[in-house]
């Protein structure tokens, strides 16, 4: 009963996920245990996810060009595998299948053959040498190295930008213009209102009084004020603000 349920679930899944011509893989129970999965001649372009208790796998005569890395790692109970009749393209993507075949020669019924590229056509996948895949290792290393370099450069740029911003903030200055509408301005009101500065406020604030101030229309003329130096001194000493009087 349990086996029948497993078979039904697998058949429904295989029908929806496998790239076939409309026919699902056939699954049948093997005694005393295990499953026989037959996906041969279904025009598959990639392998479906297989039950972990698969003991026989037949996927010959399809359109497989490679096998995804790790696809067979869960199938520890495999005793028979048939992969022949597929146009495997033996580039870097075939490296996983080659490694798996070399470790599991005893379960392979017929070794798959390379269909391309031309330099290795009609050659068994297991006959490919380690030197043949040397460029794949170099490509992976270069890719990782390039990625790390780009990330490093971006981080350095962000750090430099932050340091430049801090330096600019410390050395920046601004010009204070006092116009007629600011008559009666209290010097202590220019201080920071943060708690650590409040306790240092004078009990008798110094009031700025002037007879005449220069406003927006006459900003190009120099200010003539007796108390302006005191205001600038407060800003400079107490708040580290550099004021430029023009």
pLDDT digits (tens, 9 = 90+) for 152-161: 888 888 898 8
Q: Where are the chain's structural domains? A: 2-135, 180-239
Give the chain's mean pLDDT.
74
Distance separating alpha carbons of residues 114 and 110, to the nearest angstrom: 13
Most confidently predicted of 99-103, 204-208, 228-232: 99-103
User: Averaged over 46-71, what is the pLDDT?
Assistant: 93
Q: Is 107 within 8 Å of 80 (Cβ atoms)?
A: yes
The topology (CATH level 3) of 2-135 is 3.80.10
Taking the model in full, what pTM does it have? 0.50
pLDDT computed for residue 54 by the predictor? 94
The dihedral formed by the CA atoms of 58, 59, 60 and 65, expressed in degrees to the nearest 10: -150
Segment among 73-77, 95-99, 154-158, 186-190 with least mean pLDDT: 186-190
pLDDT score of 13 more than 70: no
Name the pLDDT band for 206 (thresholds 50, 70, 90).
Answer: very low
């Amino acid at each position: 009963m349990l086996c029948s349920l497993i078979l039904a679930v697998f058949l429904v899944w295989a029908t929806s996920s496998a790239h076939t011509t409309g026919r699902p893989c056939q699954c049948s129970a093997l005694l005393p245990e295990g499953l026989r999965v037959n996906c041969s001649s279904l025009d598959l372009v990639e392998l479906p996810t297989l039950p972990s208790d698969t003991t026989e796998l037949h996927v010959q005569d399809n359109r497989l060009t490679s096998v995804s890395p790790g696809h067979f790692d869960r199938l520890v109970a495999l005793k028979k595998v048939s992969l022949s009749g597929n146009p495997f393209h033996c580039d870097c993507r075939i490296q996983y299948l080659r490694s798996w075949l070399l470790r599991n020669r005893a379960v392979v019924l017929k070794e798959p053959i390379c269909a391309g590229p031309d330099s290795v056509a009609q050659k068994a996948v297991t006959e490919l040498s380690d030197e043949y895949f040397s460029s794949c290792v170099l490509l992976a290393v270069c890719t990782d190295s390039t990625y790390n370099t780009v990330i490093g450069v971006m981080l350095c740029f962000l750090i430099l930008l932050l340091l430049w911003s801090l330096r600019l903030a410390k050395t920046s200055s601004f010009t204070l213009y006092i116009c007629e509408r600011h008559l009666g301005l209290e010097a202590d009101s220019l201080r920071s209102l943060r708690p650590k500065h409040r306790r240092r406020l004078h009990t008798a604030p110094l009031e700025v009084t002037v007879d005449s101030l220069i406003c927006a229309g006459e900003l190009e003329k120099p200010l003539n004020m007796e108390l302006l130096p005191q205001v600038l001194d407060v800003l400079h000493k107490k708040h580290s603000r550099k004021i430029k009087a023009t």
